[in-house]
Amino acid sequence: MDVIRVKDYKELSEQAAKFVLERVKKNPKMILGLATGGTPEGMYEQLVTDHRTAGTSYKQVTTFNLDEYAGLPRKDRNSYYSYMREQLFDHIDIPNDQVHLPNGEAEDWQEECLQYEQAIAEAGQVDVQVLGIGGNGHIGFNEPGTSFDSTTHIVTLDESTRKANARYFSNLDEVPTHALTMGIQTIMRAKEIVLLASGESKADAMARLLQGEADESFPASALLSHPNVTVIADEEALKKV
Protein backbone atom coordinates (compact mmCIF):
# COMPACT_ATOMS: atom_id res chain seq x y z
CA MET A 1 0.00 0.00 0.00
CA ASP A 2 1.65 3.23 -1.14
CA VAL A 3 0.81 6.30 0.91
CA ILE A 4 1.03 9.74 -0.67
CA ARG A 5 0.93 12.29 2.12
CA VAL A 6 -0.32 15.72 1.09
CA LYS A 7 -0.73 18.96 2.98
CA ASP A 8 -4.43 19.65 2.68
CA TYR A 9 -7.65 19.04 0.76
CA LYS A 10 -6.60 21.20 -2.18
CA GLU A 11 -3.42 19.21 -2.68
CA LEU A 12 -5.32 15.95 -2.23
CA SER A 13 -7.73 16.92 -4.99
CA GLU A 14 -4.89 17.88 -7.32
CA GLN A 15 -2.97 14.66 -6.68
CA ALA A 16 -6.09 12.52 -7.07
CA ALA A 17 -6.96 14.20 -10.39
CA LYS A 18 -3.38 13.79 -11.58
CA PHE A 19 -3.52 10.10 -10.69
CA VAL A 20 -6.70 9.55 -12.70
CA LEU A 21 -5.66 11.73 -15.64
CA GLU A 22 -2.34 9.94 -16.10
CA ARG A 23 -4.23 6.67 -16.41
CA VAL A 24 -6.99 7.97 -18.70
CA LYS A 25 -4.35 9.39 -21.03
CA LYS A 26 -2.41 6.13 -21.06
CA ASN A 27 -5.54 4.03 -21.58
CA PRO A 28 -8.34 6.10 -23.20
CA LYS A 29 -10.63 3.04 -23.13
CA MET A 30 -10.22 2.49 -19.44
CA ILE A 31 -12.86 1.26 -17.03
CA LEU A 32 -13.01 3.69 -14.17
CA GLY A 33 -14.63 2.95 -10.83
CA LEU A 34 -15.99 6.09 -9.17
CA ALA A 35 -16.97 7.16 -5.69
CA THR A 36 -19.25 9.83 -4.28
CA GLY A 37 -19.24 11.71 -0.96
CA GLY A 38 -17.56 14.97 -0.07
CA THR A 39 -14.00 13.74 -0.51
CA PRO A 40 -13.81 13.33 -4.32
CA GLU A 41 -15.63 16.59 -5.11
CA GLY A 42 -12.37 18.53 -5.44
CA MET A 43 -10.94 15.84 -7.69
CA TYR A 44 -13.99 16.02 -9.96
CA GLU A 45 -13.65 19.79 -10.11
CA GLN A 46 -10.05 19.39 -11.24
CA LEU A 47 -11.05 16.80 -13.87
CA VAL A 48 -13.72 19.15 -15.24
CA THR A 49 -11.25 22.05 -15.38
CA ASP A 50 -8.72 19.84 -17.14
CA HIS A 51 -11.35 18.74 -19.66
CA ARG A 52 -12.21 22.36 -20.44
CA THR A 53 -8.66 23.62 -20.65
CA ALA A 54 -6.56 20.66 -21.78
CA GLY A 55 -9.33 18.69 -23.50
CA THR A 56 -8.72 15.26 -21.99
CA SER A 57 -11.42 13.10 -23.54
CA TYR A 58 -13.65 10.49 -21.89
CA LYS A 59 -15.41 9.45 -25.09
CA GLN A 60 -14.18 5.89 -24.77
CA VAL A 61 -14.10 5.63 -20.98
CA THR A 62 -16.61 3.44 -19.15
CA THR A 63 -17.47 4.19 -15.54
CA PHE A 64 -19.02 2.17 -12.73
CA ASN A 65 -20.00 3.89 -9.51
CA LEU A 66 -19.64 2.13 -6.21
CA ASP A 67 -23.07 2.66 -4.77
CA GLU A 68 -26.48 4.34 -4.73
CA TYR A 69 -29.20 4.97 -2.17
CA ALA A 70 -32.08 2.53 -2.41
CA GLY A 71 -35.54 3.97 -2.91
CA LEU A 72 -34.37 7.46 -3.79
CA PRO A 73 -35.48 8.60 -7.27
CA ARG A 74 -32.56 9.28 -9.62
CA LYS A 75 -33.82 12.83 -10.09
CA ASP A 76 -33.68 13.52 -6.34
CA ARG A 77 -30.83 15.96 -5.80
CA ASN A 78 -29.33 13.66 -3.18
CA SER A 79 -29.17 10.56 -5.35
CA TYR A 80 -25.66 9.59 -6.34
CA TYR A 81 -26.92 9.65 -9.93
CA SER A 82 -27.62 13.41 -9.56
CA TYR A 83 -24.34 13.89 -7.73
CA MET A 84 -22.36 12.30 -10.56
CA ARG A 85 -24.17 14.27 -13.27
CA GLU A 86 -23.58 17.51 -11.41
CA GLN A 87 -20.01 16.87 -10.33
CA LEU A 88 -18.68 15.26 -13.49
CA PHE A 89 -20.76 13.65 -16.23
CA ASP A 90 -22.62 16.80 -17.37
CA HIS A 91 -19.30 18.59 -17.84
CA ILE A 92 -17.23 16.06 -19.78
CA ASP A 93 -17.68 14.23 -23.08
CA ILE A 94 -18.53 10.78 -21.75
CA PRO A 95 -21.49 9.15 -23.58
CA ASN A 96 -24.50 8.46 -21.36
CA ASP A 97 -24.58 4.76 -22.09
CA GLN A 98 -21.03 4.35 -20.81
CA VAL A 99 -21.79 5.52 -17.25
CA HIS A 100 -23.20 3.08 -14.74
CA LEU A 101 -24.63 3.40 -11.24
CA PRO A 102 -26.77 0.87 -9.40
CA ASN A 103 -30.40 1.79 -9.96
CA GLY A 104 -31.90 2.70 -6.61
CA GLU A 105 -35.32 2.97 -8.25
CA ALA A 106 -35.35 -0.69 -9.28
CA GLU A 107 -38.39 -2.58 -8.02
CA ASP A 108 -36.37 -5.66 -7.19
CA TRP A 109 -33.19 -4.55 -5.44
CA GLN A 110 -31.81 -8.08 -5.29
CA GLU A 111 -32.17 -8.49 -9.03
CA GLU A 112 -30.64 -5.06 -9.62
CA CYS A 113 -27.59 -6.06 -7.58
CA LEU A 114 -27.12 -9.24 -9.61
CA GLN A 115 -27.44 -7.30 -12.86
CA TYR A 116 -24.98 -4.63 -11.73
CA GLU A 117 -22.41 -7.23 -10.73
CA GLN A 118 -22.87 -8.93 -14.09
CA ALA A 119 -22.51 -5.65 -15.99
CA ILE A 120 -19.17 -5.00 -14.29
CA ALA A 121 -17.98 -8.53 -15.06
CA GLU A 122 -19.06 -8.23 -18.69
CA ALA A 123 -17.24 -4.92 -19.10
CA GLY A 124 -14.05 -6.63 -17.94
CA GLN A 125 -11.84 -5.66 -15.04
CA VAL A 126 -12.13 -2.19 -13.53
CA ASP A 127 -8.76 -0.55 -14.26
CA VAL A 128 -8.81 2.02 -11.47
CA GLN A 129 -11.27 2.18 -8.60
CA VAL A 130 -11.49 5.46 -6.70
CA LEU A 131 -12.54 5.05 -3.06
CA GLY A 132 -13.32 7.24 -0.09
CA ILE A 133 -13.52 5.89 3.43
CA GLY A 134 -16.20 6.25 6.08
CA GLY A 135 -15.30 7.22 9.63
CA ASN A 136 -16.19 3.63 10.59
CA GLY A 137 -13.97 2.22 7.85
CA HIS A 138 -16.72 1.59 5.31
CA ILE A 139 -15.82 1.49 1.62
CA GLY A 140 -18.63 2.01 -0.85
CA PHE A 141 -21.51 1.33 1.53
CA ASN A 142 -19.95 -1.83 2.93
CA GLU A 143 -20.46 -1.34 6.63
CA PRO A 144 -18.42 -3.03 9.40
CA GLY A 145 -19.04 -6.77 9.46
CA THR A 146 -19.55 -7.10 5.68
CA SER A 147 -17.99 -10.27 4.31
CA PHE A 148 -14.81 -9.76 2.31
CA ASP A 149 -16.41 -12.19 -0.19
CA SER A 150 -19.42 -9.95 -0.81
CA THR A 151 -20.48 -8.97 -4.32
CA THR A 152 -22.97 -6.16 -5.17
CA HIS A 153 -25.61 -6.26 -2.49
CA ILE A 154 -28.28 -4.37 -0.61
CA VAL A 155 -27.26 -2.97 2.77
CA THR A 156 -28.92 -1.43 5.79
CA LEU A 157 -26.99 1.75 6.49
CA ASP A 158 -25.33 2.21 9.87
CA GLU A 159 -26.81 4.96 12.01
CA SER A 160 -23.36 6.64 12.01
CA THR A 161 -23.30 6.62 8.20
CA ARG A 162 -26.81 8.06 7.96
CA LYS A 163 -25.83 10.79 10.43
CA ALA A 164 -22.61 11.55 8.52
CA ASN A 165 -24.61 11.89 5.29
CA ALA A 166 -27.51 13.80 6.86
CA ARG A 167 -25.67 17.05 6.09
CA TYR A 168 -26.91 16.77 2.52
CA PHE A 169 -30.57 16.24 3.49
CA SER A 170 -33.03 18.52 5.34
CA ASN A 171 -33.11 16.12 8.27
CA LEU A 172 -32.00 12.67 9.38
CA ASP A 173 -35.39 11.10 8.63
CA GLU A 174 -34.93 11.87 4.95
CA VAL A 175 -31.68 9.92 4.71
CA PRO A 176 -32.46 6.54 3.12
CA THR A 177 -32.07 3.50 5.34
CA HIS A 178 -30.77 1.22 2.58
CA ALA A 179 -28.31 1.35 -0.26
CA LEU A 180 -27.05 -0.78 -3.14
CA THR A 181 -23.29 -1.15 -3.15
CA MET A 182 -20.53 -3.03 -4.90
CA GLY A 183 -19.34 -5.69 -2.50
CA ILE A 184 -15.86 -5.89 -1.08
CA GLN A 185 -14.96 -8.69 -3.47
CA THR A 186 -16.25 -6.56 -6.37
CA ILE A 187 -14.03 -3.67 -5.29
CA MET A 188 -11.03 -5.94 -4.77
CA ARG A 189 -11.22 -7.23 -8.35
CA ALA A 190 -10.10 -3.82 -9.67
CA LYS A 191 -6.57 -3.81 -11.07
CA GLU A 192 -5.68 -0.71 -9.13
CA ILE A 193 -7.29 1.17 -6.26
CA VAL A 194 -6.81 4.72 -5.05
CA LEU A 195 -8.23 5.62 -1.66
CA LEU A 196 -8.71 9.27 -0.73
CA ALA A 197 -8.96 10.55 2.83
CA SER A 198 -9.13 14.10 4.07
CA GLY A 199 -9.68 15.72 7.44
CA GLU A 200 -9.63 14.88 11.08
CA SER A 201 -12.88 12.87 10.96
CA LYS A 202 -10.93 10.20 9.05
CA ALA A 203 -7.92 10.12 11.40
CA ASP A 204 -9.06 7.11 13.48
CA ALA A 205 -10.00 5.13 10.38
CA MET A 206 -6.68 5.89 8.70
CA ALA A 207 -4.72 4.96 11.83
CA ARG A 208 -6.55 1.62 11.97
CA LEU A 209 -6.07 0.97 8.25
CA LEU A 210 -2.36 1.70 8.28
CA GLN A 211 -1.88 -0.37 11.39
CA GLY A 212 -2.16 -3.21 8.89
CA GLU A 213 -4.49 -5.81 10.36
CA ALA A 214 -7.21 -7.24 8.10
CA ASP A 215 -10.53 -7.79 9.86
CA GLU A 216 -14.12 -7.82 8.60
CA SER A 217 -15.11 -5.48 11.42
CA PHE A 218 -13.15 -2.84 9.50
CA PRO A 219 -14.09 -3.06 5.78
CA ALA A 220 -11.24 -0.92 4.40
CA SER A 221 -8.73 -3.40 5.83
CA ALA A 222 -9.62 -5.79 2.96
CA LEU A 223 -7.44 -3.50 0.84
CA LEU A 224 -4.36 -4.62 2.74
CA SER A 225 -4.26 -7.79 0.64
CA HIS A 226 -4.72 -5.97 -2.69
CA PRO A 227 -1.50 -5.80 -4.73
CA ASN A 228 -1.92 -2.27 -6.07
CA VAL A 229 -3.39 0.30 -3.70
CA THR A 230 -2.40 3.95 -3.39
CA VAL A 231 -3.65 6.02 -0.49
CA ILE A 232 -3.72 9.78 -0.95
CA ALA A 233 -4.35 11.43 2.40
CA ASP A 234 -3.82 14.82 3.94
CA GLU A 235 -2.04 15.70 7.18
CA GLU A 236 -5.25 15.90 9.21
CA ALA A 237 -6.35 12.45 8.10
CA LEU A 238 -2.93 11.03 8.95
CA LYS A 239 -2.45 12.79 12.25
CA LYS A 240 -2.97 9.64 14.32
CA VAL A 241 -0.76 7.42 12.20
Tell me: does residue 13 bind ligand GLP (CB under 6 A). no
Tell me: does residue 165 bind ligand GLP (CB under 6 A). yes
For residue 165, indicate whether it is catalytic.
no
Tell me: does residue 65 bind ligand GLP (CB under 6 A). no
Least Cβ distance, residue 206 to ligand GLP (angstroms) = 12
CA proximity to 36, closest of 90, 89, 87: 87
One residue of 13, 17, 33, 36 binding ligand GLP per CB under 6 A: 36
Stretch that binds ligand GLP, among 35-43, 84-92, 119-127, 211-219 (CB under 6 A): 35-43
Query: 3-class secondary structure for the chain?
Result: CEEEEECCHHHHHHHHHHHHHHHHHHCCCCEEEECCCCCCHHHHHHHHHHHHHCCCCCCCCEEEECEEECCCCCCCCCCHHHHHHHHCHHHCCCCHHHEECCCCCCCCHHHHHHHHHHHHHHHCCCCEEEECCCCCCCECCECCCCCCCCCCEEEECCHHHHHHHHHHCCCHHHCCCEEEECCHHHHHCCCEEEEEECCHHHHHHHHHHHHCCCECCEHHHHHHHCCCEEEEEECCCCCCC
One residue of 9, 16, 17, 67 binding ligand GLP per CB under 6 A: 67
Selecting among 67, 105, 112, 234, the annotated active-site residue is 67
Tell me: does residue 132 bind ligand GLP (CB under 6 A). yes
Tell me: does residue 68 bind ligand GLP (CB under 6 A). no
Q: How many residues bind ligand GLP (CB under 6 A)?
A: 14
One residue of 9, 89, 141, 218 binding ligand GLP per CB under 6 A: 141
For residue 149, indicate whether it is catalytic.
no
Tell me: does residue 134 bind ligand GLP (CB under 6 A). yes
Selecting among 65, 136, 142, 165, the annotated active-site residue is 136
Tell me: does residue 101 bind ligand GLP (CB under 6 A). no
Tell me: does residue 39 bind ligand GLP (CB under 6 A). yes
One residue of 35, 43, 190, 233 binding ligand GLP per CB under 6 A: 35
Q: Sign of the C-alpha dihedral, residues 109, 114, 117, 120?
A: negative
Tell me: does residue 136 bind ligand GLP (CB under 6 A). no
Instruction: Specify the DSSP element, H or E, that contains 205.
Output: helix 203-211
Tell me: does residue 66 bind ligand GLP (CB under 6 A). yes
> Could you list the active site residues?
67, 136, 138, 143
